[in-house]
Homo-oligomer: A and B are copies of this chain.
Amino acid sequence: MTDTAVLLLSCPDQTGVVATVADFVWRNGGNIIDAEQHTDHTDGVFFQRIEFTLAEFVFARDRLAAAFAPIAERFDMHVDVRYSADRPRLAILASRAPHCLVDLLARWSAGELPADLAVIVSNHPDHADLAGFYGIPFAHLPVESNDGAQELRVRAVLESERVERLVLARYMRILSPEFVDAYPGRIINIHHSFLPAFVGAEPYRQASERGVKVIGATAHYVTADLDEGPIIEQDVTRVSHRHSVEDLARAGRDLEVAVLARAVRADLEHRVLVWGNRTIVFH
């Protein structure tokens, strides 16, 4: 894999942005290997993801931001620079259900997820052996009281492991606003319904009672509002009257696995831009 940089840009919609940015990259030795743009005409906002090779690029990391600053200023642009060589330190938080964790570990092991897996944290001991099989540190942090002590221990582990991004792989604890604020836009959760249908607990029971013919799963960034963060990926599967609540849950597990994996991969590949409560996911 060639080393590349990715610029994730957003600014008020105006002429000249595409040409100016492309010119900046090219003039400074970058070869653009992918560029995608989107204009939200309702809000009048322009978004771009532009990826270019670094082999001949003249600016070192610590100088790129300064070099690009005049363009950013001129277009009133928000700029996020990522490097393919950076592998973020990732934590997976899980409870008892193994399916999402098993899948993420298998994909990580197969090289599908460009991240360093720093630690697996759980309020249950069940997955210690699995973590060990893949050689990942495992922190069993049981909930022993309702005073938030467990969450503080989780945060301490994440900090000591220098974790940068988190995946909640069916982690059944609600995070405090303070926790969420510590990782803004850096926590991905999988909700086991097609949001905004069936928010809250036991969505498969709700789906069964409403008699829906399709069930879904939703991966989203975690914000302080439960089940309300920006949606990264969703998918659905057909069901029928034959599906009991247990059958819905089993069919749903396959969905959860697939949807969470796609969301985590998009995030790690720097393909997601957040705008308000929505995402632009480039391909």
Contact = CB atoms under 8 A, between A and B. Distances in A.
Interface stretch (A17-25, A114-122, A137-145): A17-25
A196 interface: yes
A194 interface: yes
A241 to B, nearest CB: 4
A63 interface: no
Nearest to A232: B213
A15 B31 contact: yes
A87 interface: no
Q: How many copies does the complex hold?
A: 4
Contacts of A36: 36
B19 A23 contact: yes
A149 interface: no
A27 B250 CA distance: 35
Interface string A245-257: 1000010001000
Contacts of A230: 211
Given A18-B22, A32-B37, A196-B197, 10 more contacts: A15-B31, A18-B32, A38-B242, A40-B241, A99-B110, A196-B212, A213-B235, A214-B235, A216-B236, A241-B281
19 contacts: A18-B22, A19-B19, A19-B22, A33-B39, A35-B37, A36-B36, A42-B245, A98-B110, A102-B106, A194-B214, A196-B197, A196-B210, A211-B277, A212-B231, A212-B234, A214-B216, A216-B236, A241-B278, A242-B283
Interface of A: 15-16, 18-20, 22-23, 25-27, 31-42, 98-99, 102-103, 106, 109-110, 112, 129-130, 133, 194-198, 208-214, 216, 230-236, 238, 240-242, 244-245, 250, 254, 258, 261, 277-281, 283
